Structure 1
């Protein structure tokens, strides 16, 4: 493994961006995330990597297989007295910003590190997203989340990393008439950094999903760097079918969060799952439980699945039979029911899936249901042994808000190359 560069992870969520850097061998100073359940998922994953690196992965497998409860799992990790897996902190506010920075500095000393090499993260995107602004009468102009990026800048100012990665939705460019995008560039420059931003698509990083994100990469002005050359075309040999066909078929309400066998053995699993380490030989399937759907929704699902599979056309809400149209508004959100494309890339996974599965319908006409947590996690490129904590609605939100780990790893690879030039 290459030297482990230090990372400060802000607005971490459940750890999608972190996972890519973990896989590339970076070590984390701290993860900052306000949501308790997402932070618990991230803690679980950070401990997994610590156990794996110390040849104690069996403890993690005992946990996700149900042989250990969470308290027992955390205690076993504590008893090993391994190096910390990264300090976990809660919400950053104006009041606790400085105390939080002091804790991070203390943790750097515990790690025997004297600096932060990279800061990564991106504040919650709801205030910047076009969908969020369309739903808010004031266009999210007064939403305080517009200014969370200032905390990110404060951490850059305090810890002076060599590089930083700032991720968000493309809507950030036009948020508040472009003032946030312009101000971000201006403030970073005042701190002594050059930064460039590009809109990147996750599918070009082998993620089986159309998912565009704006990725800022910045570096200290004294470094002779330029924005990395990321792939611009997706690999064409893989499709969503590669991540669904080995999973047990389910009817609404069927399945379990507990470990079960896959439908087909590892030897017959798709090349995609093996190549990108989504599924491993020792894995058991977890968190594959289908939602319960009412009869009307199932009737709608059946229609939209049939239309998509037969004609590759998506039914608008107003195309449904009148007896299936129960919403009064017929002029907005007409694409509220959408089937995942089995023979291509999925459309973008979003946190709204926590509220209902209408936008993420399984393409199998024999199942007539929305996607499970594990199916959505696979579309996001999370490994099968990635356990999401909390109730199912929270698990969906965590996945929908995450950076796909395969995309994150692609970014981490380029960041590592840049660091090698100066360290």
Structure 2
């Protein structure tokens, strides 16, 4: 294929899905996918998106030193001021790609967004692609449970249920050869007025113009499950809902992330040259784990909240005060007690809390596969970004130490509320009600991590580091590693905003596999 495939990225977040597509490289060394318009409404995510769009301007050529200079400072630097002076042409192109400012589909920004999209595809005769996933709060199981507690809430009046219609409008405008739509697994069971939302979405996506009563051409699409054997594709349109669920851990992503991914292909685009399962090339029985993807990152300690002092000695003294309680609670296992003892003994030196940028010296031993190391690493970087431990309540550090030691001798399983002794139990009146049995969860060293979600921006209790000596929740960089963001991917905004961005994103590595599928489809397709 000689024509660049132009991409419109909707509800882009920090750009995980777009990153996978833009990073895809063919066997001949070309990068066929080019993002020409990204739409995102949240300000910090938009800043991250723009910075990455700037980085992509140098795809296939040397990234300027200015980019690494920006990453390696621990001072507050305004990216707009910094790059508009050092690389004005590329920064202007990046801003154009992200529409210049945060913009929301389905708002007063509608006309401006559509005008920018039309500009981006004007005169392009090659393939076009639309990607993205409408916000999932209305579809997720957690979101639906939360909505039930809102007085007067009705799904029929929740506009978030219908944001997919904005996606339809863009499909109707762009009329792409292929589209990729991602959402949470809860979409399969969400209902409005007793009607399955997913069934309606599937039907509407098959012909956006018809669903919208548009006066544009009625382009029809086949919806194809990405992990379905192609020899069975003769029955297009008769797939079960669950066939569209992708288990990310089966494809080299170190977390149990199950998402609905719809691949829409125009009916006149042939798929005859693809063999076997669409994603079969990357399917693996050997799941990656946090121990493999986090071990080489610098050790950190947490800080302390609700304390007069937040320094190393205060942290160490607090850990000492809780050590005897933890050690006693681990009496069921000498190995667990030994792990706790070693964890405390390792605190003789302060590893620090990290920061915006941490210099690194040498390569620590790690079980990370070479191919994954090549995906993460950037030889031009001399350190790690977005790697700063948050502060925790002193008593929570004791629970973290207990939980990580417990998991280390229980095949990675975290302790339940009944496993905590009274002296380590939190002062929650409902602690023993059965509603908080897994309030604290360790991301075990040798088990696939649980799904990284935006909830990691809250208290971090569900994302405890497996190393007892660190006694903390995961950093933004560690969560980004589990999400497979490259190490040179910098997240803008405050730390809470960074966590939300990472948790809401599509794993870029998984997106790159989907990109190869899409490229194979388009490369073998005759143009109309």
| In the alignment, structure 1 residue 188 sits paired with structure 2 residue 214 | no
Residue 118 of structure 2 is aligned with which of 81, 85, 105?
A: 105
SS at match of 2:38: strand
Q: Does 1:287 align with 2:386?
A: yes
**Unaligned ranges ≥5, structure 1:** none
Distance 1:203 1:58 in 2: 35
2:162 paired with 1:64: no
Runs (4 or more) in structure 1 with deviation over 3 Å come to 79-85, 224-228, 266-276
Alignment size in residue pairs: 421
Equivalent position of 2:18 in the other structure:
18
Instruction: Show the counterpart of 1:46.
Output: 53
2:35 to 24, 28, 33: 28
* Cα deviation, residue 279, structure 1: 1.5
Q: CA deviation at 1:39?
A: 0.8
The 1:40/1:235 distance shift into structure 2, 3 A limit, reads farther
Q: Kindly report the root-mean-square deviation, in angstroms, between the aligned alpha carbons of the 2 structures.
A: 2.6
Q: Is it true that 1:317 corresponds to 2:324 in the alignment? A: no
Does structure 1 conserve the Cα–Cα contact (< 8 Å) formed by 2:390 and 2:475? yes
How far apart, in 2, do the equivalents of 1:260 and 1:400 lie? 22
For 1:307-346, what aligned pairs fall within 5 Å after superposition?
Answer: 307-312=406-411, 313-323=413-423, 324-329=425-430, 330-346=433-449
Distance 2:293 2:91 in 1: 37
Q: What secondary structure does 2:300 align onto?
A: coil
Q: Do 1:50 and 1:82's aligned partners in 2 also have CA atoms closer than 8 Å?
A: no
**Equivalent residues in 2 for 1:360-375, closer than 5 Å:** 360-375=463-478
What's the counterpart of residue 149 of structure 1? 164
User: Aligned residue for 1:230?
Assistant: 279
Deviation at 1:282, TM superposition (A): 2.3
Task: Answer yes or no: is 1:243 the counterpart of 2:293.
Answer: yes
Greater CA drift, 308-317 or 293-302: 308-317
Structure-1 separation of matches of 2:154 and 2:467: 38
Taking the TM superposition and a 5 Å limit, the aligned residue runs for 1:258-273 are: 258-262=356-360, 264-265=362-363, 270-272=368-370
The alignment partner of 1:287 has SS state of strand
Q: How far has the Cα of 1:65 moved from its partner?
A: 1.6
Q: Match of 1:91? A: 104
**Structure 1 residues 270-325: Cα deviation after superposition (integer angstroms, max 9, x where no partner):** 43475442023222211111111111111111221121111233222343233423
Contact 1:51 1:59 in 2 (8 A): no
Q: Which runs of 5+ in 2 are unaligned?
A: 25-30, 209-219, 226-243, 304-351
CA contact 2:189–2:198 (8 Å) conserved in 1: yes
Mapped pair 1:297 → 2:396:
yes
Write out per-residue CA displacement over residues 18-51 of structure 1, whole angstroms, 9 at most, x where no aligned residue.
1101101311121011101001101101101113
Q: Does 1:76 align with 2:86?
A: yes
What is the TM-score normalised by the length of structure 2? 0.74
Matched with 2:247 is 201
With normalisation by structure 1, the TM-score equals 0.91
